[in-house]
Amino acid sequence: MKLLLINAVCGIRSTGRICVDIAEQYEKDGYDVKIAYGRENVPKQYEKYAVKIGGNADVYAHALGHKLFDNRGAYSKSATKKFLEWADEFDPDILWLHNLHDFYINIKLLFGWIKSRPNMQVKWTQHDCWAFTGGCYHYQISKCNKWQSKCDSCPKVSSSRGIFLKTKKNFELKKKLFCGIKNMTLITPSYWLREEVQKSFLKEYPIEVVHNKIDLNVFKPTEGDFRKRYGLEGKTIILGVASAWSKEKGLDDFIKLSTMLDDGKKIVLVGLKKEQMKNVPESILVIPRTNNAKELAEIYTTSDVFLNLTYEDTYPTVNLEAQACGTPVITYKTGGSPESVPTENVVECGNLEEIVEKLKSIKILKVNTDF
């Protein structure tokens, strides 16, 4: 039996780690497993699974085309054709899709190939809302429900969308491509996302909720010298971690919060890009993104509280990672984020005053260990 997974990355970041976890489990069960990916590098221990789709030039051309014409998934034709030739030879019994929207694969060609193989079992894990919208990954911050009928005149225009928006056209294309697939099951990592999918054109498929898992051999209480190295002895460390920081991930709120705290508390943010670091006040300690899970576990462990001020999220694994290291999590009430933390640790979006009050009693905050 053969399993083929497709995702933007392999072995890194949350979706890449989820894919290798699946690969290792299926391999133990006797499957021949491959992970097709399009972006970045693969950790050495996972190279045996990795099959690269295209190269950097394909990604850059795809990204440029999308930047101009809002055509995410419309390019990478040559790379996709070559990959599908390989996939035909591999001949998977199970195809497991993950993130398809990172400028590396052509969705018309991919789903045409899928529909030509009606006996192949197909799974598709929805890590966000992109599959059933006209272009955006999330719509919570804009409070838009147009995707439930027909996306047009998108209220969430950003630099990541094309200059010439094709929201309506993209919506209709996805509906045509993604519907009518035999033997496909959708998987969501949260009950919140399952309910959203059931309101979309993807409601024709069975939907399973499978909460994201983390490697508890890595994410566990881990001693390190982080506190000493950065001169944080005696400080209450308030940690935030993201693979890509933005207003939606709560960066602006962390900056506001830094002006509301006393000198005994220190905000530490992991994952900022160099250009973002320039705009963050010196009162916040900023650290670049790391793919070293052990280092991240050390930072989680030494922190006093993990703060997730996200405005849009599906089921953030950072909540699980922090709690597995023994650190309590406070999160905004958004998407599936509250599903992984104790109810009393959930705060309404934007309510920084309540955040400050909860930070006064960190020692009594509960930690969820049911993961």
Alpha-carbon distance values, 120 to 91, 107, 181, 294 (Å): 9, 18, 10, 38
Domain check: are 202 and 308 in the same one?
no
Domain check: are 142 and 268 in the same one?
no
Domain check: are 71 and 162 in the same one?
yes
Is residue 369 assigned to a domain? no
User: What are 186's strand-pairing partners?
Assistant: 124, 207
Both structure tokens of 282: 């010196």
Domain check: are 203 and 231 in the same one?
no
The candidate with the shortest Cα–Cα distance to 167, out of 178, 153, 181, 182, is 153
Domain boundary, last residue among 151, 174, 209: 209
**Residue 164 confidence (pLDDT):** 62
If you write DSSP's letter for every residue of 226-253 in order, what string do you get?
Answer: HHHHTT-TT-EEEEEE-SS--TTTTHHH
Strand spans (E) along 242-338: 265-270, 284-287, 305-308, 329-332
The Cα–Cα gap between 347 and 337 comes to 11
Is residue 301 assigned to a domain? yes
Domain check: are 171 and 232 in the same one?
no
**Residue 60 confidence (pLDDT):** 85
Neighbours of 364 (CB within 10 A): 8
Burial 170-194 (b: 16+ CB within 10 A, else e): bbbbbbebbeebeebebbbbbebbb
CATH number at residue 29: 3.40.50
What is the domain range of residue 350?
Answer: 226-364
Is residue 166 assigned to a domain? yes
Both structure tokens of 306: 């993990």
The Cα–Cα gap between 267 and 55 comes to 38
Strand spans (E) along the chain: 2-6, 32-37, 50-52, 94-97, 121-125, 184-188, 207-209, 236-241, 265-270, 284-287, 305-308, 329-332, 346-347
Is residue 220 assigned to a domain? no
Neighbours of 113 (CB within 10 A): 18
In this prediction the pTM is: 0.91
The Cα–Cα gap between 74 and 124 comes to 19
Please check whether residue 223 is in contact with residue 349, taking contact to mean a CB–CB distance below 8 angstroms: no
Domain boundary, last residue among 182, 209, 236: 209
Domain check: are 125 and 235 in the same one?
no
Domain check: are 282 and 195 in the same one?
no
Domain check: are 317 and 347 in the same one?
yes
End-to-end CA distance of the chain: 29
Low-confidence ranges of the chain (pLDDT < 70): 157-164
Cα-Cα-Cα-Cα dihedral of 299, 305, 311, 313, to 10°? 60
Domain check: are 186 and 257 in the same one?
no
**Residue 163 confidence (pLDDT):** 58
Is residue 129 assigned to a domain? yes
Domain check: are 199 and 250 in the same one?
no
CATH number at residue 309: 3.40.50.2000
Is residue 218 assigned to a domain? no
Q: How many domains does the chain have?
A: 2
Domain check: are 353 and 249 in the same one?
yes
Domain boundary, last residue among 180, 209, 238: 209
Is residue 156 assigned to a domain? yes
Domain check: are 273 and 298 in the same one?
yes
Is residue 215 assigned to a domain? no
